[in-house]
Structure 1
Amino acid sequence: MSKKKQAQPQGPLPSKLRELVESLAMAVLMAIGLKYFLVEAYSIPSPSMQPTLLGSNAAGAYDRILVNKAAYLLRAPQRWEIAVFRYPHNRSQNYVKRIVGLPGETLQIIGGDIYRRDAEGKLAILRKPKGLQDAFWRRIWHQDLREDPRADLGRSVHWDGDEIVLAATGSTTKSILLGNRESLRDHYWHGYPPSIEEAVKRDLGSPDNGYGRHSVGDLRISGELQLSSGWKRAFLRIAEQDSGQLNREIDLEITNKAGKSFARLSISGDGSRLEGEPTSRHQSQPVEIEAGTWIDMELWHWDDQIWAHVGGVELGPLPYSAPAVPLNDEAQVVARVGVSGAGARLRGLQLDRDQYYLAREAAGTDIKVPAHNYWMLGDNTQNSADGRSWATLSLSYDPKTKKLLRPGTGSARLVGNARVGSGDADENPVFVPEAQALVFTDLQGEEHVLKASYNEFLQMGYGGLQPRNDGGEGAQRYDRFVPEQYFLGRALAIFWPLGLGSPFRLSLIR
């Protein structure tokens, strides 16, 4: 009678299972490590950073971003970076904004730009580096969209398919204006992808919901130019004409004399002079331009500096000195492309504007950033709760009855974000009329119910929809800054959406 053979354990199988389990465990640990120490994904829920980061209810577009959590472990946060941080007035929430003010600085917003006081108390503009400026340009007009009917000017300036033809002859100059007086303002919808732009316009209503009031002179003209044989001169021009204190003109001029071409970048106007060259207002270089050949061209004006590119030649950036005076809201800003001596064709023309920061304070008000703190602003300056308006609210109450008391009375106090009557997701406190109560979220994100109606809240002295600067007990007080220890990381990239029913958004964040 034969005995049944007992199954013998095979050596390789447990070894492979063990390796598989170890690999899976390592993958899980690495994923956890990446999430908590290196990279984490966040969703953008609000429009405060648009159009850089979309959180648009109107368009149903919400970016998802990757955040480098190790970015600030070895170095301090830097100006113009987009960072994620715990909101100091509700530490259960994470916010994303751009770093504008650094520890110890005194700043002002003037004419849409950021200025800093130096050691002598003088204001100097903070210039964004050219390599970063691309992230700030917002499209106003593009030739391919045919948005400006003034491009149809008859025989001397007309459309030929997708190209614009400037039919200049002899000493005559023909030019085209890009945009118009109303479009060269800080309109809310500038810079959005076309599909999103239309949704944003519909959501705003008319007319621009009170936005678009400020003339913007920080512009970029770009496109391609094809010059005909016999051309003498071509130019790109940005001009600011203010009935008040500013008149300025920035020109990229290309000239052709005796078969030799030169590109010249210049600035002229009241109080504007290139820095480091007290007797000069221009820079020139030879450039090779062949008639009938398409050449790239660009003219930039931003943060009191100018730069140009034409036919493979760069001029600048050239910083210039100018008075810290904003453009009058009724100023005439002109962006123009022209040619003389012979005709030219234009294609891919585009006009962009720079970010225009809006001040929430009276003109001349300093923003003083404390040590170890940062001043954060949203890119959607017209619709962003940020360091211009952040405030705290302190409520006094009776811990036994949970009744709200007048400021400075009672034995208990709650401190939290001040967003009285904002009507948005961050409104604080939230009033419940049927219960004659309010719900207040404190600094830790915990909710508290106190007995008081909205009218009682106002009558007790907590009222006013705008924070006060007096710092009185119970008053809404400005508290604008983010301590360094609240930073969670630097925004690295948009990884969603990928264009499936939404605009393609995969890109690095700058």
Structure 2
Amino acid sequence: MKLAEFITEIAIYGLIISLMIHHFCFQSFKVMTRSMEATLIGDPNCGDRILVKKYAYEFKKPKRWEAIVFFYPHNNQQIFIKRLIGLPGEKVHIRNGEIYINNILARKPSSVVNQLLYPVYQPQQPFKENWQYSEKWQIDKQQYSINTNKLEWCKYKHVVTNRYEPINNRRFFHRQQYAYPVGGGLRVGEIRFAIRFKMRSDTGSIRLELREGEYRFLCTIDTAQAGQLHKYIGEDDTKKQSVHFKANWQKNSWHSLVFSNIDDLVTLEIDSKEVAKLDYSQKQQQAQRITFDTAFRWGVSGSFELENAQLWRDIYYISKRDFFGGLTSFEVPNHHYFALGDNPPNSRDSKDWQRFCFFYKNGISIEGDQKNFPHGKTRKFTDIYGFDRDIPHENLLENYLSRQDAPFIPQSYIIGRAALVFWPITRGKIIY
């Protein structure tokens, strides 16, 4: 066989194999919008490039919280990526930023939580501008020390700034208020706080206090390595729930501490080991109404060195129908799914989708997706085949437009599961 024929044959086989892999196994996509930030960075020019497992659902059904890629149900020329929330036959509720499935709170797996956490305060930000504290604290960039006989607090200020700044080697809109910018001063009380500490005295304690709506959580750890975690209602000192635990730390040794309130579950970790857990979840009907009182503070008594305080907030799901903690519900039909973006205020997803139908005077109707409705002699929309249409007014009935919610994704429209970010290399990661 001649060399040219051999090379040609190899090229043909390689092309066939690559086409088969592309068709049956994997396909790459570029993320074009911000709807999945901060999990995925979207931009028409430099958005994340992801690899999609097209065979992921050939032998198993999609699972909740997976990031799926699919054809937009109302224009199959468009491809979307969202996080799967509701499965066939389920009733999905959005209430107070949480997802309830059939009246039960849907908790996210830890891998998904870690990917959805949004940085509120990170070490590269100025400590003095973001925390309130007394003169007894000695602050040197991200190292803090104190020697006191009484409890001294550091309280987060809720500084609100609207600016772009680098967070974890990325640039995206960063708002230091706990909430997404949804208006009304709404704040997210589900947070995670992390810090490193070293106790220098023989006696002392660490306290952490979080307020979320009407609830107040207080965690105390003392030098006897005994700890308590309590839930209160408002300023009432009557304990509504309590957890007692042991915390193992050594004097003059550095330890890490992580305090979280995620999905109605308060946890405390010391040196990456969970030592306390308080579950205060309720059924959807009893879930608290949102209030605008959210605060977090941490404090110590004794002699301590501390460093690298960090604060994140959890995702807060909203519906444009009700910004302020109300209830929005959807019943998922068989063979369909319900999906939401990881950046709710900037995501057009199942909570917003509607189907439009235009009625002609001659009795014909056309289904489509709203594009815009300018004032003038025509109405514009995109039909279900992806074609833009201009309809003259004189051809339409007086009540020419019908709208109805159409939030669900047919199973046949799902392309596959988003597996990983492969470009840019600096943002490469597995997608959970």
The two structures have a TM-score, normalised by structure 2, of 0.87
Residue type at the aligned position of 1:442: D
* One of 105, 110, 132 as aligned partner of 1:125: 105
Following the alignment from structure 2 to structure 1, what is the Cα–Cα distance between the partners of residues 124 and 388?
A: 52
Q: Does the alignment pair 1:114 with 2:105? A: no
Residue type at the aligned position of 2:246: Q
Identity %: 24
* One of 128, 143, 157 as aligned partner of 1:180: 157
Counterpart secondary structure, 1:55: coil
Following the alignment from structure 2 to structure 1, what is the Cα–Cα distance between the partners of residues 112 and 166?
A: 16
Following the alignment from structure 1 to structure 2, what is the Cα–Cα distance between the partners of residues 358 and 384?
A: 10
Q: Does the alignment pair 1:485 with 2:416? A: no
Counterpart secondary structure, 1:376: strand
Distance 1:497-1:180 versus aligned 2 partners, 3 A rule: same
Task: Tell me the equivalent position of 2:55.
Answer: 70
Task: Tell me the equivalent position of 1:23.
Answer: 10
Is the Cα contact below 8 Å between 2:229 and 2:278 reproduced in 1? no
Structure 1 gaps of 5+ residues are 1-13, 118-122, 202-207, 272-278, 398-408, 422-430, 463-473, 499-503
Q: 1:24-423, aligned counterparts within 5 Å? A: 24-56=11-43, 61-117=46-102, 123-146=103-126, 148-149=128-129, 151=131, 153=133, 155-168=135-148, 170=149, 172-177=150-155, 179-181=156-158, 193=168, 196-197=171-172, 211=183, 213-240=185-212, 242=213, 246-251=214-219, 253-257=220-224, 261-262=225-226, 264=227, 266-270=229-233, 281-287=242-248, 289-315=249-275, 318-322=278-282, 323-328=286-291, 330-331=292-293, 333-340=294-301, 342-361=302-321, 363-397=326-360, 409-421=361-373
Is the Cα contact below 8 Å between 2:71 and 2:78 reproduced in 1? yes
The two structures have a TM-score, normalised by structure 1, of 0.74
Distance 1:195-1:371 versus aligned 2 partners, 3 A rule: closer
Query: What is the deviation of 1:396?
Result: 2.5
Distance 1:316-1:450 versus aligned 2 partners, 3 A rule: same
Query: What is the deviation of 1:286?
Result: 4.2
Is the Cα contact below 8 Å between 1:375 and 1:481 reproduced in 2? yes
Counterpart secondary structure, 1:176: strand
Following the alignment from structure 1 to structure 2, what is the Cα–Cα distance between the partners of residues 237 and 92?
A: 50
Structure 2 gaps of 5+ residues are 235-239
Distance 1:151-1:95 versus aligned 2 partners, 3 A rule: closer
Residue type at the aligned position of 1:494: V
Query: What is the deviation of 1:361?
Result: 3.2
Distance 1:88-1:151 versus aligned 2 partners, 3 A rule: closer
Residue type at the aligned position of 1:218: E
Following the alignment from structure 2 to structure 1, what is the Cα–Cα distance between the partners of residues 280 and 165?
A: 27
Name the structure where strand makes up a greater proportion of residues: 2
Is the Cα contact below 8 Å between 1:151 and 1:159 reproduced in 2? no
Distance 1:19-1:236 versus aligned 2 partners, 3 A rule: farther
1:77-97 superposed Cα distances (whole Å, 9 cap, x missing partner): 111111110111001111111
Query: What is the deviation of 1:17?
Result: 5.0
Aligned residues: 418
Task: Tell me the equivalent position of 1:405.
Answer: none
Is the Cα contact below 8 Å between 2:370 and 2:382 reproduced in 1? no
Following the alignment from structure 1 to structure 2, what is the Cα–Cα distance between the partners of residues 167 and 446?
A: 70
Residue type at the aligned position of 1:46: T
Query: What is the deviation of 1:112?
Result: 0.4
Residue type at the aligned position of 2:154: I
Following the alignment from structure 2 to structure 1, what is the Cα–Cα distance between the partners of residues 279 and 110?
A: 11
Following the alignment from structure 1 to structure 2, what is the Cα–Cα distance between the partners of residues 488 and 393?
A: 25
Question: Larger relative CO (CA 8 A, sep 6+): 1 or 2?
Answer: 2
Distance 1:280-1:344 versus aligned 2 partners, 3 A rule: same
Distance 1:23-1:235 versus aligned 2 partners, 3 A rule: farther
1:400-457 superposed Cα distances (whole Å, 9 cap, x missing partner): xxxxxxxxx4242211113435xxxxxxxxx595xx434432112133342239xx97
Residue type at the aligned position of 1:219: I
Query: What is the deviation of 1:334?
Result: 2.1
Distance 1:150-1:483 versus aligned 2 partners, 3 A rule: closer
Counterpart secondary structure, 2:289: coil
Is the Cα contact below 8 Å between 2:339 and 2:349 reproduced in 1? yes
Following the alignment from structure 2 to structure 1, what is the Cα–Cα distance between the partners of residues 230 and 247?
A: 19
Is the Cα contact below 8 Å between 1:166 and 1:175 reproduced in 2? no
Supply the RMSD in Å over aligned alpha carbons: 3.1
1:6-42 superposed Cα distances (whole Å, 9 cap, x missing partner): xxxxxxxx26555433332222122111211111111
